[in-house]
Structure 1
Amino acid sequence: MTELSPARAVALDILLELEESGAYARDALDASPAVRELDRRDAGLVTRLVLGVVATYGCLDELIDTYCDKPGRMNARIRNALRIATFEALYLGTESRVVVSQGVELVRSRAKSAAGFANAVLRRVCEDKDRYLDALDMPAGSERSLTSLARQGGLPLWLTDEFLASLGSDRARHLVEAQLEPAPVAAYLNPRDERALAEVAQAVEDSGAADEGGTGLPGCVAPVAAAQLVASDVLRRGGAVVCDSHAQLIAAAAVHGGTCLEVGAGRGTKTFVMAALAQRCGIECSAVALELSKKRTRLNRRRMERAGLADEIRFITGDGCNLERSLARLDEQAGECVRFDSVFVDAPCSGTGTMRRHPEIPWRLIPQDIEEDLPELQFELLSQAARCVRAGGQLLYATCSVLRQENEGVVDAFLASDAGRGFTLVPVSTAPLFQRDDFAQAVSYVQAREDARGMFQSVPALDAFDGHFCARLIRSR
């Protein structure tokens, strides 16, 4: 009898836990004592299997169910064991004999009587995997091409179609090809922390990663080894923050002398980058970090206080869709409706530019999210924020999505509305901070990813880092 590998057994335990709790895969992996007890190689395999199954389970189930008479009656233990083996067959290139033998033992460990069933299913999976990925079961033509592309990335068919419509064929294919690859990690340094550079430089050396190509943003370091960075003290004390390189560029575009309102500050990742950039460049500014969640507001304040960057920031819990109420106390203290030199809307979105980091995204989204719910919310946030921009000030709208409906669609709807009157779309690369000589490389990087109207869009795989969107608007009156 084949001995079951400990990594696969732990992966199955975690997947069953996720099915019961609805937690996020990365959180479950980070919290698992069983993963920490494994050696580095096995721990890495557990991570790959768990994240991969979560990211592709719709396609895995589609193939598995092809060989089952009553798929709806399969219990979670057997299904998740088969998912692990099928993921290895389709997306890891594991040898068929290993897929079958380990998959059968995985099923046997949870349901002995189902071992024969698992053997039959997995043999068929291995025989038909290429046919499935190439969508040879579909009619030749565009339908087969779309289905094959979706299956290659383990993605829902409708979402793959949206990527093609939003990005075009070449960029969409790059996105899909990157879907199951690990995303590089970047950090931004706190200029007030003298030790941070040396510690993060060590994490870069330990990463062993090929040079991903930098964005040229002063203070950005990438790629770094996440485990080594977490193991050091630099993140805990606020010497650096983990933040995707493209997100850092967008935060840089929002830095402006004078006053800034950040709508959707979250736990303060971009708040940190903006404050650190202002400190690095000697820019005097004061900011308001607005966030709907009290918990996230509290976490943001603590992070910024530890970093020594909180002096000129006011932290407010409030709804970006009702800024009149959220900023009422600020207006009362000022004796007028406060207007800002820079307003930055970091909008909630589908997160389709960050699927490599968040494997739950593809199969939790539904078409209504993209077509109605998210764009409506994003438009309201942008419209509300527009009222807070002073004449001559800038308004930035950003997402970590690659979908047109959430990006250009929202911006165009805003410009065509009453709220958008008096605003002009200008290139992101013309933001104040990018006019400094030491940001020349960053400007070139941004310009290479701007469309004809100056809106920034990055795409995973085509670019090393995540997919982010940003539009910059100036209020003329």
Structure 2
Amino acid sequence: MRIDQKAVAARAKALPQHVEHLSILITELARFAHPADMVVSRYFRSQPKLGNRDRALIAEASFAFLRRKTEISQFAESGQGPLGRRLALLSLFITMVESGLGSGNRAESALADLAFVVHPGEIDWLQRFGTIERESLAPLTRVNLPEWIWNALGSSVPKDQCLPLAEAMLKAAPLDLRVNTIKAAREELLGVLNDLGGRYAAEPTPYAPNGVRLKGKPALQTQEFFKQGLVEVQDEGSQLLSMLLEPKRGEMVVDFCAGAGGKTLSLGAMMRSSGRLYAFDVSEKRLANLKPRLAKSGLSNVHPVWIDNENDAKVKRLAGKIDRVLVDAPCSGLGTLRRNPDLKWRQSPQSVAELTQKQLSILQSASRLLKPGGRLVYATCSLIYQENQGVVEEFLAANPNFELKDPKEVLRDSFPAMDNLPIGASANSKWWQLFPHLHGTDGFFGAILERKS
């Protein structure tokens, strides 16, 4: 769920009803029975009288709770009154501090904005929370991660990268757009956005050649440039990931796990709407969500195909006929914790173990589609070795007719800007990785595999 940060800033005062709504919402979120964006959306549908600014503040504070649940929950034990109220107050306080409301000392400004909400004894309590030195917190409290994820990061990235990475994932992600080059150029779209000003003010993304990063998080659905399909919401990392496949005009290409089609549309634009691009997915609902986006994209080369599983007969009929395949595999999503902080509390070692078996099965099936000399990109939005390098290494051991290609060597001529992109925590790695603390994107992993001629 995207949150209108500008609307949060415009609501400079928290009101008692915000605490009441947030107390109820946090209690529901903490059950972790459903994805957080689904829970928040369902709650707002049950509260039709809430205005947009109220919803923005409540939603942002609820996600602040999920990002920093460990430290919020621990400090809440020291307060008085109902637990739900204590959790709500701390979440609101963090939201206002991080939003930079007011001027001067952020903690003091946040307390002033909570003046209509807090009771006398709660002011000192919140002040104590605001003066805690993060360096003094226990490691798992400071990073707000379950122990198994913290340990998995320790065995997946260099030790000196673990803490900066974990702390970067405690911050909200920016709103990135991909310009649909079938219909517009990036400079043209930047002009439109900056003419609107305010929360629409934008700048080019640092690496993706067609990316735009907004300074706020406005609702886009009412804007003509969005209705006309000039842009799609897509994280810069996801845009770069599509570039790894390097599809050409006139080729046969498969997006094997297309989902709602963000990368499919990106690939179709790179192909200039030529050739044939299959969008496979096991979810009819996700493919249905692609159709309206496809209709306004201006693309005519995309063919959504529902498959029952990775071994569906529709897949087998294309064996040996495809030039390029993207496998953006279902994964734990732990690279997207800035946007989906509930995932760190909803995933488990057992769920990851189940996912890795599914990932390997999908990769094996997708590999059969390729012509000799064809390219397959295996990707996840995970940070864990088990879902990334581990899956690819097991695949390569069983498939000697495939080889791993160095992304810097493969992409240097076609996308010079990619040569200046830090590939990951290790500059010499043949694994393509993006990290929030290094690149300002979601966490992504990619491996370029080629079927030997």
What TM-score, normalized by structure 2, do the two folds share?
0.80
* Distance in 2, Cα, partners of 1:63 & 1:225: 30
Question: 1:266 corresponds to which residue?
Answer: 259
Mapping of residues 35-434 of structure 1, within 5 Å: 37-38=50-51, 40=53, 44-65=56-77, 78-87=82-91, 92=97, 94=107, 148-194=138-184, 198-199=188-189, 201-203=191-193, 205-207=197-199, 214-215=206-207, 217-223=208-214, 225-257=216-248, 258-279=251-272, 284-309=274-299, 311-323=300-312, 325-328=313-316, 330-331=317-318, 337-370=319-352, 372-417=353-398, 420-431=399-410
- Alignment of 1:12 onto 2:28: no
| Percent identity for Structure 1 against Structure 2 | 23
Rg bigger for which structure?
Answer: 1
Higher fraction of helix: 1
Cα distance in 1 for residues equivalent to 2:181 and 2:200: 25
Give the drift of 1:12: 2.6
Number of residue equivalences:
425
2:448 is matched with 472
Could you tell me how far 1:48 is from its partner in structure 2?
2.8
Counterpart position of 2:5? none
**How many Å apart are 1:339 and its aligned residue?**
2.5
Amino acid at match of 1:153: V
Contact 1:261 1:290 survives alignment (8 Å): yes
Counterpart CA distance in 1 for 2:260 and 2:402 is 29
Q: How many angstroms does 1:50 deviate by?
A: 0.7
What amino acid is the match of 1:465?
A: T
- 1:472 to partner: Cα distance: 0.2
Contact 2:79 2:86 in 1 (8 A): no
> Post-superposition shift, 1:11?
2.4
Distance 1:286 1:213, change over 3 A: closer
**Distance in structure 2 (CA, Å) of the matches to 1:290 and 1:458:** 25
Q: Shift of the alpha carbon at 1:125?
A: 8.1
Cα shift readout 1:92-124 (whole Å, capped 9, x = no counterpart)? 57469789988876xxxxxxxxx9xxx69x977
Tell me how far apart the structure 1 counterparts of residues 116 and 82 of structure 2 sit (CA, whole Å): 13
Distance of 2:86 and 2:172 partners within structure 1: 23
| Partner of residue 442 from structure 1, selected from 418, 432, 443 | 418
Question: Given residue 161 of structure 1, which amino acid in structure 2 is its aligned partner?
Answer: N
* C-alpha contact 1:394 1:475 (8 A) present in aligned 2: yes
Structure 1 position 414, deviation (Å):
1.1
The answer on whether the counterparts of 1:340 and 1:389 sit within 8 Å (CA) in structure 2 is: yes
Q: Let me know the Cα RMSD of the aligned residues.
A: 3.7
What's the offset of the Cα at 1:203? 3.5
CA contact (8 A) 2:179 2:185 kept: no
Query: Which SS does the other structure have where 2:437 is aligned?
Result: coil
| 2:378 match: secondary structure | strand
Segment drifting more, 4-13 vs 235-244: 4-13
Question: Aligned in 2, Cα 1:398/1:261: closer, same or farther, shift over 3 Å?
Answer: same
Does the 8 A contact of 1:355 with 1:361 survive in 2? Answer: yes
Structure 1 residues 158 and 15, CA, compared in 2 at 3 Å: closer, same or farther?
same
User: Conserved in 2, the CA contact under 8 Å of 1:203 and 1:225?
Assistant: no
Summarize the Cα distance change of 1:12–1:65 in structure 2 as closer, same or farther, 3 Å threshold: closer
Q: TM-score, normalised by structure 1?
A: 0.77
Q: Distance in 1 between matches of 2:52 and 2:305?
A: 44
Q: Which amino acid in 2 is paired with 1:276?
A: A
Deviations 1:303-358 (A, max 9, x none): 2122121x2222111145314x2425x45xxxxx4421111100111111110111
Cα distance change, pair 44–56 in 1 and its aligned pair in 2 (3 A)? same
CA distance in 1, matches of 2:220, 2:187: 12
SS where residue 339 of structure 2 aligns? coil
CA 1:446–1:427: 2 relative to 1, 3 Å: farther
Per-residue CA shift, 1:282-308, capped at 9, x if unaligned?
x84311110010011122233212212
Which is further off, 53-62 or 28-37? 28-37
Structure 2 contact 157–425 (Cα < 8 Å) conserved: no
Q: Paired residue for 2:101?
A: none
Which letter maps to 1:235? F
**1:255 positional shift:** 3.3
1:228 to partner: Cα distance = 5.0
Partner AA of 2:377 in structure 1: L
